[in-house]
Amino acid sequence: MTPPSLFLSSRFHKGLRHGSDNLSGQDRYRRMRRWLLAILFLIAMTPVVITAALNYLQYQELLREEAENNARWGMESAKRNLETFLEKLNLSISLIADAYPHRELLVQENIDLAFTRLKRDHKGVVDLSVIGPNGIQKSYAGPFNLLGKDYRESPWYNNTLSRGAYISEAFLGFRNIPHFVVAVSRKMPDGGGNWVLRASVDTETLDKFLASLHSEIVTDVFLVDESGTRQSTANFRKQKRDQIVLPELSLKKGVILTNEFRSEKQVIRTYTPIRDTPWILVQEHVSHQSKNSWIQFRRQTLILLLSCAVLTTALVYWIAGFVTATIRKTEKEREAMLAQAEHTNKLASIGRLAAGVAHEINNPLAIVSAKAQLAIDLLQRSSEFESREKILASLAGLQKAVARSRDITHRLLGFARRMEVKLQPVQVNDVIEEVLSFIGQEASYHHIAIDKELDLDLPSIMSDQGQLQQILLNIINNAIDAAGKGGKVWIATAMIQPKTVRIEITDNGPGMTAEVQKKIFEPFFTTKTGKDKQGTGLGLAISYGLVKKLGGEIEVHSEVATGTTFALSFPV
């Protein structure tokens, strides 16, 4: 009994073998082609993709840097403009505070005049007022009645007192209208505390100023206070105040830049504090990813990549097909050569065997022949007796049988014989005529027509006349046999290539099946099995061997019920 492990192992190997047997040649080439396609495609596309990716990243980085720099510069310029606007306002108010003594500003006419001048230079200034050291509004020029209002609790008032000058965040105040305050404080001439000169500016002026900063790349500009609340008029009209989250960065100096994703778009936001105010200016810029140049670059890169892929696929498809076909052809040729070598080898070994057998048989045949001859000699000298003639006839039959056997063994030896090839210029047409002179009579006896179409300009070939004769004799004889009574045989010669002569022998006999055609050149294969048609099955095998020895080729083309053509080609 087989041990289980051995049993399993043998099953496994059987399975493997079975698997590989199933992989037909066609599948193998298909698989090879697929592999080639994949590998070649990878080899061709990898550098393209890497280059495209590097380009993509570099260009992206370049555009990002450019966009960020632009955002920074834009922001710095906006900050400068806003600071200049506020500084001028601040300066004007300081000038008024310095130019007019405190008590003069308490005179309505004076404050009205100062307000008119201020308003002329600074649009958006809503009113101008003086707040005494006690925090009570002392004089006022403007549309609202705010005289006597107490600002002691107002953050802006306290900030102004403590800092000397102050710009407030936007707020509603007593008037209930969004505005901000620019205020300066000055010491009372008598030294009793500080008075404050205040100008209110409506936030719409700020809104307009900010709106003027909008451009193709600046999509949003707004001010927020330190808590992140928007400083716009609209914001105060809403129930809910618009608030943004400020980046956790030091806002005391410079421009802070963040890349953010807002309403399905990548944007760059810049934040910067406005000097001497509680404000932070926020600008939103178009990110490089929304820029036309970037979109176009991406599209071009994609088109380039796709074109490359299509072109590469086509090229690789062609190369893979070509390489596979070439390998396939080479393998086929190799297989054909191997088959050829095998056939030649088979012929050689059969030849050796045949020669051995023929030699061994020749000796006993010689004895039989000699003994029969001796018996005939003896009988011819003896006197008449009963059955003498019969015995003589039997002995003659015996001699005939020996002669037949001899024919066979000699042909076998002829098949195996290694004759030296004697090369000389041979005119193929002449050899055909010689052969026909041997067998033409037999053909006409059987009413077989032989048509010749010989190329009269045929050059001589280097060959062995005797062997060529033997080959042609054999094949033409076969054609005559195949054509049969009343049949027809065509013999044609022609130059088919610059250095090849072709001879075609065609009959209109019964033809051969593909199976028979395959075996036709094998020794001992014969189709002549009829009563009066006996073949040794060596004729074509010998012809095949001789043609090969002379450096030629022999092919057979046949169709059942149509006929057969043997085509010989020889180099010139």
Smallest separation, CB 377 to another protein (Å): 4
Q: Tell me the C-alpha distance between 435 and 438, whole Å.
A: 5
Residue 383 as a binder of another protein (CB under 8 A): the answer is no
DSSP per position, 327-387: HHHHHHHHHHHHHHHHHHHHHHHHHHHHHHHHHHHHHHHHHHHHHHHHHHHHHHHSPP-TT
Residue 460 as a binder of another protein (CB under 8 A): the answer is no
Smallest separation, CB 371 to another protein (Å): 5
* Nearest residue to 554 via CA among 563, 538, 541: 541
Smallest separation, CB 398 to another protein (Å): 11
Residue with Cβ nearer another protein (45 or 379): 379
Q: 3-class secondary structure for 497-550?
A: ECCEEEEEEEECCCCCCHHHHHHCCCCCCCCCCCCCCCCCCCHHHHHHHHHHHC
Q: Which two tokens stand for residue 447?
A: 């009413």
In the block, tokens 């195996």 appear at 416
Residue 400 as a binder of another protein (CB under 8 A): the answer is no
Smallest separation, CB 347 to another protein (Å): 18
Give the rounded distance of the alpha carbon of 80 from its chain centre: 56
Smallest separation, CB 401 to another protein (Å): 11
Smallest separation, CB 468 to another protein (Å): 18
Binding mask 412-431 for another protein (x = CB under 8 A): -x---xxxx-----------
CB under 8 Å to 251, separation ≥6 — which residues? 226, 271, 272, 273, 280
Q: Cβ of 90: how many Cβ atoms within 10 Å?
A: 20
263, HSE (Cβ side, Cα atoms, 13 Å): 5
Residue 187 bridge partners (DSSP): 194
Residue 366 as a binder of another protein (CB under 8 A): the answer is yes
Residue with Cβ nearer another protein (211 or 378): 378
Smallest separation, CB 35 to another protein (Å): 55
Q: Which residue of 130, 141, 206, 402 would you call a contact of another protein, by CB under 8 A?
A: 402
- Residues 336 to 365 in contact with another protein, rule: CB under 8 A: 359-360, 362-363, 365
Residue with Cβ nearer another protein (99 or 367): 367
Residue with Cβ nearer another protein (217 or 379): 379
Q: Which stretch binds another protein (CB under 8 A): 56-64, 151-159, 301-309, 402-410?
A: 402-410
Q: Tell me the C-alpha distance between 563 and 490, whole Å.
A: 11
Residue with Cβ nearer another protein (359 or 388): 359
CB under 8 Å to 330, separation ≥6 — which residues? none
What are the residues binding another protein (CB under 8 A)? 359-360, 362-363, 365-371, 373-374, 377, 381, 399, 402-403, 405-406, 410, 413, 417-420
